[in-house]
């Protein structure tokens, strides 16, 4: 903490320096000024929490200085040290927020008590300011979530009265009366594999980017809002209450904006301006229409990106996965890639003969496959672990579509084949003393240690549940997956630290940590020293890196 002494007499400043127990008050730096004008320069530059000032000085005196502090640095605490026992001066000091008035010659007890009281008052006020700042930051962080919650309730039909939308009207400054309303829906699960792989560990960022693009256009016209459905996290919803004739043009601008900014092709389901009543009831009905239009779209068609619920669908008999279950299960148990490919090919061929396939049907087939694979594992004789394949969270799988949102049968075949082969390996772990899939995961970690990797990423990539990977990885290597990854990263970091030209934050990024401080904590926990200490030791006295009990296990 800094303290500023303001007095035009040098010997007074010196005496105060000698009499005060600075360390006991937590003061680390004492600054001096000869006048009020010089004090203002110091306060502006260094912001000392406490000022000890004389009252009678040439130029700007103590009263004028306190007036300036009261306006420009109100958090600063002021103690007056004066040679004038003047009631009028004392009254002015109190009026301007001064904490104490000490007479010269200075009494050591009085000055130390006054300074201690001033520093404590500043610390208490600073804690309050920090708490208020954190609360404000938390409110700002939660505000978008709060708005999303209110909007989700509207489209879900929970908030359907004028009174229930009052908080939302205040939060988003909605028009006083919304007579008509329409909705549009997008789903990140209907994007192609390339864009989803790019945002694999940052799905929230993908949704945030999409919402920002949509609100850029809606906000400019002040005719709507885009938000994330909190119960269907893959969905981005747009509500629009502007001129109906402008709606298709606005959606075209949004579609183009997404394509330009994110380089992806977004399909959009659109509701209608029907006679559903006023907002918010109209919003809930339009949302249901738009969502149905998006999921009922024909994924075999490439022409349109905008889909409306008025489109009719021909009733056709769909191939049923349960009818092929035994063939698929036997192929999985064979653990033979060719056998699996043939079995999956029969299913894909049946789908290829259909005149149309909706996005909803694709999602339903993926869900059926989830249940089927989970049942195989849960019904396994003697299996008490209840191992499951991904995705155990119940979320919708990304659809097997190309970069225009059209069904890609080759991609879907590869996805199903991979899942069946993973199921076969999970069903027959006793056929081999080592689990080849877990070894593949370890090799992947070795090659991609510098990327942001989580257990869920591995579950999605290798089509196994997080619990299964965690359990089997520990059995295979004696450590859990995250510890194994840390060991790889620390091993690489130790080599990089031998290069004095690499900065620590660069090394942190090179081994997969975006936060240099967190990297330092992990390094010290595993190695017993900070990265800087490790560098100094080995740079000053080059020697082979020490072998420890944490050396990585080998795999073949």
Q: What is the mean pLDDT of the chain?
A: 82
Chain region(s) in the chain for CATH 1.10.10.60: 436-540
Contact 280, 154 (CB under 8 A): yes
pLDDT for the residue 388: 47
CATH number, span 156-308: 3.30.70.270
Task: Report the 10 Å Cβ neighbour count for 499.
Answer: 11
Rounded Cα distance, 58 and 7, in Å: 10
Task: Decide: 378 and 427 in contact? Cβ < 8 Å.
Answer: no
- Token pair in block for residue 254: 């949004």
Query: Over the stretch 311-346, which tens digit does the pLDDT of each residue have?
Result: 555 567 788 888 889 899 888 888 888 989 999 999
In the prediction, which pLDDT does 373 show?
86
Report DSSP letters for 27-73, one per residue: --EEEEESSHHHHHHHHHHH--SEEEE-S--SSS-HHHHHHHHHHH-
For residue 515, the SS3 value is coil
2-60 pLDDT tens trace: 999 999 999 899 999 999 999 888 899 999 999 999 999 999 989 999 999 988 888 88
Is the distance from CB of 416 to CB of 370 less than 8 angstroms? no
As a whole number of angstroms, the distance between CA 41 and CA 33 comes to 9
| Cα–Cα–Cα angle for 78, 82, 84, rounded to 5 degrees | 135
Q: Is 240 helix (H, G, I), strand (E, B) or coil?
A: strand
Confidence of residue 384 (pLDDT cuts 50, 70, 90): very low
> What global pTM score does this model have?
0.56
Residues 6+ apart with CB under 8 A from 268: 184, 185, 186, 251, 254, 255, 294, 305, 306, 307
Whether the predicted pLDDT of 536 surpasses 80: yes
pLDDT at 51: 93
CATH 3.40.50.2300 domain span(s) along the chain: 2-128
Superfamily covering domain 2-128: Response regulator (3.40.50.2300)
How sure is the predictor about 190, in pLDDT bands with cuts at 50, 70 and 90? very high
With the C-alpha atoms ordered 375, 381, 387, 389, is the resulting torsion angle positive or negative?
A: negative
CA distance 344 to 158: 43
Neighbour-count burial of 117, counting CB atoms closer than 10 A to its CB (0-12 exposed, 13-18 middle, 19+ buried): middle
Q: Could you tell me which of 42, 44, 26 has the C-alpha nearest to residue 34?
A: 42
- Establish how many alpha carbons lie within 13 A of residue 555's alpha carbon, considering only the half-sphere containing its beta carbon: 19
CB atoms within 10 A of CB 306: 16
Q: Which of 43-52, 175-184, 280-289 is least confident? A: 175-184
Query: What fold, for 436-540?
Result: Arc Repressor Mutant, subunit A (1.10.10)
Is 107 within 8 Å of 19 (Cβ atoms)? no
Report the 10 Å Cβ neighbour count for 239. 27
């Amino acid at each position: 903490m800094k303290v500023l002494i303001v007095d035009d007499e040098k010997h007074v400043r010196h005496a105060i320096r000698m009499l005060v127990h600075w360390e006991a008050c937590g003061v680390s730096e004492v600054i001096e000024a000869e006048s009020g004008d010089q004090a203002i320069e110091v306060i502006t530059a260094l912001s000392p929490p406490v000022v000890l000032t004389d009252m009678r000085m040439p130029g700007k005196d103590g009263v004028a200085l306190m007036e300036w502090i009261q306006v420009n640095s109100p958090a600063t605490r002021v103690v007056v040290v004066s040679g004038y026992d003047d009631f009028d001066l004392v009254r002015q000091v109190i009026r301007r927020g001064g904490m104490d008035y000490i007479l010269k010659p200075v009494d050591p007890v009085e000055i130390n008590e006054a300074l201690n009281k001033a520093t404590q008052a500043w610390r208490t006020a600073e804690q309050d300011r920090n708490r208020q700042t954190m609360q404000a930051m938390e409110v700002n962080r939660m505000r978008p979530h709060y708005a999303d919650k209110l909007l989700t309730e509207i489209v879900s039909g929970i908030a359907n009265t004028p009174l229930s939308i009052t908080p939302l009207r205040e939060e988003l400054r909605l028009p006083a009366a919304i007579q008509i309303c329409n909705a549009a829906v997008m789903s990140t699960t209907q994007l192609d594999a390339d864009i989803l792989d790019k945002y694999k560990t940052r799905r929230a960022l993908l949704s945030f980017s999409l919402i920002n693009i949509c609100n850029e256009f809606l906000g400019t016209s002040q005719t709507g809002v885009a938000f994330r459905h909190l119960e269907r996290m893959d969905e981005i919803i747009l509500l629009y209450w502007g001129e109906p004739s402008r709606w298709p043009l606005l959606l075209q601008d949004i579609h183009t904006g997404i394509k330009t900014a994110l380089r992806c092709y977004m399909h959009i389901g659109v509701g209608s301006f029907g006679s559903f009543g006023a907002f918010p009831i109209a919003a809930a009905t339009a949302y249901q229409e738009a969502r149905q239009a998006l999921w009922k779209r024909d994924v075999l068609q490439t022409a349109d990106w905008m889909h409306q619920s008025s489109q009719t669908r021909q009733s056709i008999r769909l191939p049923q996965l349960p009818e092929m279950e035994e063939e698929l299960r036997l192929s999985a148990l064979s653990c033979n890639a060719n056998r699996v490919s043939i079995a999956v090919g029969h299913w894909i061929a049946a789908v290829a003969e259909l005149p149309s396939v909706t996005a909803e049907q694709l999602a339903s087939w993926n869900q059926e496959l989830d249940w089927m694979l989970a049942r195989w594992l849960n019904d396994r004789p003697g299996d008490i672990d209840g191992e499951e394949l991904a995705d155990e969270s119940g979320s919708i799988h990304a659809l097997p579509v190309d970069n225009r949102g059209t069904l890609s049968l080759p991609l879907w075949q590869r996805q199903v084949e991979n899942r069946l082969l993973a199921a076969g390996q999970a069903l027959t772990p006793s056929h081999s003393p080592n689990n080849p899939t877990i070894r593949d995961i370890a090799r992947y970690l070795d090659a991609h240690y510098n990327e942001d990797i989580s257990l869920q990423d591995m579950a999605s990539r290798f089509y196994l549940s997080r619990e299964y990977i965690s359990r089997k990885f520990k059995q295979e290597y004696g450590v859990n997956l995250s510890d194994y990854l840390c060991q790889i990263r620390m091993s690489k970091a130790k080599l990089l630290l031998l290069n004095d030209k690499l900065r620590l934050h660069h090394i942190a990024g090179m081994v997969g940590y975006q936060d240099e401080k967190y990297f330092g904590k992990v390094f010290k926990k595993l190695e017993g020293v900070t990265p800087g200490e490790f560098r100094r030791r080995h740079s000053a006295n080059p020697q082979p890196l020490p072998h420890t009990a944490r050396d990585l296990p080998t795999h073949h």
